[in-house]
Chains A and B, each alone.
Chain A
Amino acid sequence: MVDSSALFEYLLRLGDNALILGHRLSEWCGHSPALEEDLALSNVALDLIGQTQLWLNLAGEVEGRGRNADNLAYLRDARDFRNVLLVEQPNGDFAATMARQFLFDAWHYLLLRELTGSKDARIAEIAAKGLKEVTYHLERSRDWVLRLGDGTEESHRRMQAAIDDLWMYTGELFESDEVDQAMVREGLGPDFATLHEPWLGLVRATAEEATLTLPQPGWAQRGGKRGLHSEHLGYILADLQFLQRAYPNATW
């Protein structure tokens, strides 16, 4: 039987990844380069926020202190957030947003696919639901990496710069700590290290087709899973949580 505090922690990580990336994408709403992209980014954001509700409601249930997805999203401070650093990185230009999305989607797809076999039926069913959505996210973000990478000189330069800048945040995706190891032991989740090879295979094949060069493996920036974030998260939360902080318990 897995320790419920470890399971709570694990579910927070799943939920926070979806929440913070969903919020980042929603920042594009009304600012995208084309109407179609505005709709697409908002739709991906919506899928991720929907998945957030499922993961964080389950986290609250496991914790057993009466917190639900709303309390967890709106009333925790930065140090209590468990998302990986990649998803909190700024939107930058459209290439940076799509590069971040692609690097995350490829990992998210592989992770959810493993989680559909989780011994915890609640995790398996949320993963099965999310996997269908993330399959489309990945197809789309990969298309954009190809189009911009193998596009004009300017689009290539921007996509290459985005991949170079974000690369150091990808190492954290494949690390396991004691929480992840507890999940592996109980058959609840995969060993993240096993996702690395298929992820790299997909990313490398896509980069080649897109005429992009992947950076050499190097130093990985880490800490998000343990609550140690970049300076960007605080600004995200200031925006995301403003209403509940200013008007506690406001509903509409």
Chain B
Amino acid sequence: MADSLTQSDLDQVKAWLGEVPDPEVPAVSVMDLGIVRDVRWDDDELVVSITPTYSGCPATSVIALDIEAALRAKGLDRLRVERRLSPPWTTDWISPEGRRKLEAYGIAPPAESVGDTPSPFDRFLRKPLVITCPRCKSENTDRVSEFGSTPCKAQYRCRDCLEPFDYFKCI
């Protein structure tokens, strides 16, 4: 099947990848999160480049397997998934659609662009970011811990609706 595919079919491949959920945050796809950096043909082999969100993220190898399984199920049998470290993944690559899905799922999306993120030395001096509660939209929230259920998230609680929630940190 791969032989008959051309450049224009890459859009189809990307659409299929848009249906592969992130194993840790299944509300968003690997495309929404910006983990898939490139999809290309190397002769008749399809190459999908992915980048880890965090160096030790155990989901990275599962993501590679899920991508491979999903594309094989679509009939692509000549493919390889390669890992790319640079440039390092940033939350700026989460799509607007991905941000909406995160919020609807109960995870507050990153509150600033990494381009604006100050170094820790400056960060210590500024006011904490205002994180909006994904449930009741209150801005009256507190950080409970810099790390949540996964390295990419911090734990917050809302002082109005009293619900705890995850915040997807800017990185």
Contacts and interface: CB of A to CB of B under 8 A. Distances in A.
Interface of A: 36-37, 39-40, 43-44, 46-51, 53-54, 109, 121, 124-126, 128-130, 132-133, 135-136, 138-140, 142-143, 202
Contacts of B56: 46-51, 53
Given A44-B147, A46-B54, A125 B121 contact: no
Contacts of B54: 46-47, 50, 133
Query: What are the nearest 7 A-B pairs in CB distance?
Result: A50-B56, A50-B55, A125-B86, A40-B147, A36-B145, A46-B56, A43-B147
A73 B169 CA distance: 30
A9 B30 CA distance: 37
B44 to A, nearest CB: 29
B85 A125 contact: yes
Nearest to B144: A36
Contacts of A124: 86
B169 A136 contact: yes
A30 B52 CA distance: 27
Nearest to A206: B124
A16 to B, nearest CB: 16
A39 B145 contact: yes
A136 B56 CA distance: 14
Interface string B140-171: 00001111111100010000000000000101
B55 A133 contact: yes
A129 B55 CA distance: 7
A132 to B, nearest CB: 5
B88 interface: yes
Contacts of A139: 120, 123-124, 146
B64 to A, nearest CB: 15
A136 B144 CA distance: 14
A143 B146 contact: yes
B75 interface: no
Interface residues of B, number: 27
A165 B139 CA distance: 42
Contacts of A37: 145
B63 to A, nearest CB: 14
A133 B90 CA distance: 11
10 contacts: A39-B147, A39-B155, A47-B54, A47-B56, A47-B151, A51-B56, A126-B85, A129-B55, A138-B120, A143-B146
Interface string B79-118: 0000001111010000000000000000000000000000
Interface string B34-63: 000000000000000000101111100000
Given A129-B55, A202-B121, A46 B85 contact: no
Nearest to B152: A43
B133 to A, nearest CB: 18
Contacts of A109: 120
A140 B147 contact: yes
B120 to A, nearest CB: 5
Nearest to A129: B88
A43 B55 CA distance: 11
B94 to A, nearest CB: 15
Nearest to A209: B124
A51 B55 contact: yes
A40 B145 CA distance: 7
Contacts of A136: 146-147, 169, 171
A115 to B, nearest CB: 13
Nearest to A37: B145
Contact of A43 (B86, B120, B151): B151
Given A37-B145, A126-B85, A132-B90, 8 more contacts: A39-B148, A39-B155, A50-B57, A109-B120, A125-B86, A132-B88, A135-B120, A136-B171
A196 to B, nearest CB: 16
